[in-house]
Structure 1
Amino acid sequence: MKIGQLAKRSGLAASRIRFYEASGLLSAVERTSNGYRTYGAEAVWILEIITGAQQAGFSLEEIRSLLPLSASGWQHDELLAGLKRKVAEIEVLQQRLAHNKAQLLVAIESIENPPPGQACVDNAQQLLERLRERGDAGDR
């Protein structure tokens, strides 16, 4: 199939497909005598893997190392290790996001419910101190 057909079937722009090809994520393709690229049916499948992996947070370099080396299949151990590594990275990110969320909730609470009679600048100072204390506790 030509690149236009592949773009339509994959939902990707032709320029994105050419980028993946140039990046070594999509195997070299045949060229017709007039220079048009022709792709095999497996190109749709590979593009689905690439876009799905990107949505899951994999970098192009990580994807490159996880793609099957040939039509014969995946490198099982490398694929499994890469997937487990990404899950661990996501868990660390989730912890960091939970910490950030907690700090934002403290800030919101402090701004919405300042101590009675406390000046805004004093409330801000107190809020910064609370956030510093929470940040130090989160580093332990």
Structure 2
Amino acid sequence: MKIGELAKQTGLAASAIRFYESKGLLKVGSRQSNGYREYPEDAVTILRVITDAQHAGFSLEEISQLLPDDASSWKHDELIAALRKKIADIEALEERLARSKAELKSLVHLIDSKPAGVDCKENAERVMASMAARKR
């Protein structure tokens, strides 16, 4: 199939398809005499795997290491290990984000609980002093 049909079936721009090809992630079946690329039927599936993997947080380099030359040569153990590692990375990120969220909520509460009669400058000093005390 030509790049226009591949773009239509995947929802990707032709430039994105050529980019994945330039990175070695997508193979061109052949070139016609007029120079047009002819992609194999499994190119749709390969592009979906690439975009799904990117959405899951895999870099193009990680994808290129895991993506086989053809579907019959998947390296099961390496694939499972990479998926488990990505899950662990996501869980660690979730923990960091939860800590950051809690710290920000605490800061909002601290700023928002400005005592009556305290102006903005004094409140800022109060907040900064409280933050400095927490870091000790």
RMSD, aligned CA = 1.8
TM-score of the two chains, using structure 1 as the length reference:
0.87
1:121 Cα shift? Answer: 2.6
Identical-residue share of aligned pairs (%)? 54
What amino acid does structure 1 have at the position aligned with 2:99? H
Residue pairs, 1:1-140, within 5 angstroms: 1-132=1-132, 136=135
1:40 Cα shift? Answer: 1.1
SS at match of 1:72: helix
1:117 Cα shift? Answer: 3.2
What amino acid does structure 1 have at the position aligned with 2:13? A
1:131 Cα shift? Answer: 4.0
| Structure 1: segments with no counterpart, 5+ residues | none
Q: Work out the CA distance in 1 between the residues paired with 2:103 and 2:6.
A: 46
1:132 Cα shift? Answer: 4.9
What amino acid does structure 2 have at the position aligned with 1:118? V
Q: Work out the CA distance in 2 between the residues paired with 1:130 and 1:99.
A: 18
1:91 Cα shift? Answer: 1.1
Q: How many residues are treated as equivalent by the alignment?
A: 136
SS at match of 1:48: helix
Q: Work out the CA distance in 2 between the residues paired with 1:8 and 1:69.
A: 24
SS at match of 2:58: coil
